Amino acid sequence: MDELFTEGAPIEDTKAPDGPLEERWDKRRFGGKLVNPANRRKLSVIVVGTGLAGGSAAATLGELGYHVKSFCYQDSPRRAHSIAAQGGINAAKNYRNDGDSIQRLFYDTIKGGDYRSRESNVYRLAQVSVEIIDQCVAQGVPFARDYGGLLDTRSFGGVQVSRTFYARGQTGQQLLLGAYQALERQVAAGTVEMFARHEMLEVIVVDGVARGIVARDMVTGEIETHTADAVVLASGGYGNVFFLSTNAKGCNVTATWRAHRKGALFANPCFTQIHPTCIPPSGDHQSKLTLMSESLRNDGRVWVPAKKGDTRRPGDIPEDERDYYLERIYPSFGNLVPRDIASRAAKNVCDEGRGVGPGGLGVYLDFADAIARLGRDAVAAKYGNLFEMYERITGEDPFDVPMRIYPAVHYTMGGLWVDYDLQSTIPGLFVIGEANFSDHGANRLGASALMQGLADGYFVLPNTISDYLAKGPFEKIGEDHEAVVEAREAVESRIEKLLSIDGDRTPDSFHRELGAVMWEYCGMERNEAGLLKAIDRIRELREEFWTRVKVPGENEELNQNLEKAGRIADFFELAELMCIDALHREESCGGHFCTASQTPDGEALRDDERFAYVAAWEYTGHAPVLHKEDLEYEYVKMTQRSYK
Ligand SMILES: Cc1cc2nc3c(=O)[nH]c(=O)nc-3n(C[C@H](O)[C@H](O)[C@H](O)COP(=O)(O)OP(=O)(O)OC[C@H]3O[C@@H](n4cnc5c(N)ncnc54)[C@H](O)[C@@H]3O)c2cc1C
């Protein structure tokens, strides 16, 4: 294993303030420099991504008066993947009087992440969560309301309070429409320039500092360079490295991977979230898996037949021959245990031969009790669109028969390393939302991604970036600057190379095979032999890709095969780093389950002595260098996580 990577100097978050936890965010804001409103007009920021993180950031920076260039690869900013988010967004409002507080959201998040995230960041996230809801309500986001007209909430996994605000099963869509309106307002005001259908393919780094991007106009193929005083990446997660995932098909790692190759450290790449409630795969033809929101576990009960190989229809299996295994094993949290725990439990019962549906890869999510207790209309009001989606895909009506669900790749906790200011190791390059590694440790709690994306975009970045921009005015960088020309040429020659191979395999066929390797060896369970095998196979496949891929068409047109091929080439490199990261972390924590490290009852067993750190990887072109950021817990005691 040694030759797979080397270890470098430790890394420290020098921006993290000290002092009492609850005062740190105030302290940092007060300590940071400001840019006066008249000077903001002279400063420019590129924001790549228009999801909840990038959309909210671009709108807010525009509102502050900076000149913003906003990029996305969709035809409209409001088609960013955030639109798919279903279940809700957390906030420590305690509207329910059920004992919630900023402290409790902080604690739940640290514990839920299996003690692999930073206390300062997570506390700030919990503080800011409260402001997000006010901001979105003011924008007109139609959150669900209770009978009395107050905002309604529901519960998500890993917590015992009800702090998730929602808009039916379309929370992401409604929040994104809010951010999009704010963004379009700035477009109309002239502070934000929008570049839809543009794919960023390189970062421009001048004297070690991020000063722009190279982007391809996806309709004409034109390669453009854009410079600015700072660059923000809000390009989302990389779950699609597994090919099959709940992410939108376009989600990819290119923006962050290109930055990684230019010097930005990549943190905890192996921390992947497998979501327990997805529609099981139904064959080899699929290119995507569908999430059934975690909110369904508020009312749905998860079970399998108590006996192995019981093929009776669910309705024919009497109560005392069913195993409501989550309620049995985890009586305190029941069906609302965190995702990593629920996913592994589902895998275990299926491995025991008690799974249901084709291939025995499924467990039931049953609403019969909820329908009897609340009535069909009440259940339809809460989950109607999710039930409809399930029925359209499977042909089965969840009002009549239980849903069948199985875990699937859903979210990536890993991402570019950032400090407390959300700045990467390339000065001037900030990373927000799912694209950074920050707040979720080894496992993200449900409804916390939207919270983090909007916290970063509306509240954190706009405050911290000013400390950096206050260093301006910055040197003007022309199109003919050596670093700009070099970055542009690198993009052009890569495109040429991809088009010229003219092999006999489609980009998708490589992606599918890579995904299968990752799912098998770097998915729900990892072990040394499997990961070593995966690394060998990934290297072979990558070599084959660069000699056999066929990319029809040309650059000067809409060419989706070309887009895919570029993204898959980056996925290959990322996949290898994910396996190396998983291999080196000889412990289990959150979503990273190493079979050699488990408790006697099969739960993840951390090794805090050796692994209580963030693994931040440096790109070298050969064996990557590992830099460790030690995690210190002053306010929370690291304990074995228990939801029993
Ligand atoms: C089905 C589903 C349901 C979910 N439900 C919930 C939920 O209920 N609650 C919750 O908290 N979380 C949920 N999540 C997670 C959450 O939706 C995401 O983590 C979050 O929306 C990510 O937001 P983002 O702004 O970081 O990135 P995204 O929304 O993924 O946006 C990425 C943006 O970057 C752009 N981009 C990327 N690469 C490039 C490039 N190279 N060049 C130009 N532009 C680029 C894209 O065009 C896009 O605009 C869900 C996820 C899925 C898959």
From the alpha carbon of 86, which atom of ligand 1 is closest? 8
pLDDT over 80 at 131, yes or no: yes
User: What is the C-alpha to C-alpha distance for residues 80 and 71, in angstroms, rounded to an integer?
Assistant: 11
- Atom 12, ligand 1: which residue's CA is nearest? 449
Residue 294 pLDDT grade (very low, low, confident, very high; cuts 50, 70, 90): confident
- HSE-up of residue 431 (Cα within 13 Å, Cβ side): 32
Shortest-distance Cα residue to atom 19 of ligand 1: 449
Owner of token pair 């440096």: 618
Ligand 1 centre to CA of 434 (Å) is: 7
What phi and psi values does residue 41 have, to the nearest 5 degrees?
-60, -25
Which residue, by CA, sits nearest to atom 27 of ligand 1? 236
R_g (Cα) of the chain, nearest Å: 24
Q: What are phi and psi of 478, to 5 degrees?
A: -90, 165
Is the pLDDT reported for residue 282 higher than 90? no
* Ligand 1 center to 142 CA (angstroms): 20
pLDDT at 2 over 60: no
591 vs 270: CA distance, rounded Å = 9
Closest to 414 in 3D by CA, of 564, 267, 630, 226: 267
**Cα 104 to Cα 638: distance, rounded to the nearest angstrom:** 15
Tokens of 519: 């799912």
Q: In angstroms, rounded to a whole number, what is the distance separating the alpha carbons of residues 205 and 210?
A: 4
CA of 34 to the centre of ligand 1 (A): 30
* Contact indicator for 179, 59 with CB cutoff of 8 Å: yes
> How far is the C-alpha of 198 from the C-alpha of 34, rounded, in Å?
31
Calpha distance 435→528 (Å, rounded): 27
pLDDT greater at residue 157 or residue 25: 25
Ligand 1, residue 77: give the atom nearest the CA: 49
Which runs of E-coded beta strand occur in 109-229?
153-154, 164-165, 192-195, 198-206, 209-217, 223-227
- Map 276-306 to HEC letters: EEECCCCCCCCCCCCECCHHHHHCCEEEEEC
Q: What is the pLDDT of residues 167-209, one digit of tens each?
A: 988 999 999 999 999 999 999 999 999 999 999 999 999 999 9
What whole-number distance in Å separates Cα of residue 150 and Cα of residue 53? 26
Q: What's the gap in Å between 399 CA and the centre of ligand 1?
A: 30
pLDDT average, residue stretch 402-408: 96
What phi and psi, each to the nearest 5 degrees, are found at residue 45? -135, 135
Q: What is the mean pLDDT of the chain?
A: 96
Nearest residue (CA) to ligand 1, atom 9: 447
- 279-288, 417-426, 574-583: the lowest-pLDDT one: 279-288
In this prediction, what percent of the chain has a pLDDT beyond 90? Answer: 92
Question: In the predicted model, what is the mean pLDDT of residues 555-561?
Answer: 97
The tokens describing 141, both together, are 């986001």
Lowest mean pLDDT, pick from 146-160, 222-236, 429-443, 509-523 = 146-160
Q: Whose CA is nearest to atom 33 of ligand 1?
A: 49
Distance 268 CA to ligand 1 centre (A): 19
Ligand 1 centroid to residue 82 C-alpha, Å: 4
- Tens of pLDDT, residues 410-420: 999 999 999 99
Mutate to test the pocket of ligand 1, among 214, 256, 450, 494 (most ligand atoms within 8 A of CB): 450
Catalytic residue among 124, 339, 537, 641: 339
Read off the pLDDT of residues 313-344 as tens digits, 9 standing for 90 and up. Answer: 999 999 999 999 999 999 999 999 988 999 99
Q: Which residues line ligand 1 (CB under 6 A)?
A: 48-54, 71-74, 80-82, 84-89, 171-172, 198-200, 234-237, 246-247, 251, 254-255, 291, 410-411, 433-435, 447-450, 453
- Name the residue among 322, 282, 318 with its Cα closest to residue 302: 322
d(CA 38, CA 636): 43
Task: Report if pTM > 0.75.
Answer: yes
- Our answer to whether residue 339 is catalytic in this structure is yes
Model confidence at 146: pLDDT above 70 = yes
Pairing verdict, β 44-48 and 230-233 = parallel
If you average pLDDT over residues 35-49, what whole number do you get? 97
**Environment class of 528 (CB within 10 Å of its CB; exposed 0-12, middle 13-18, buried 19+):** middle
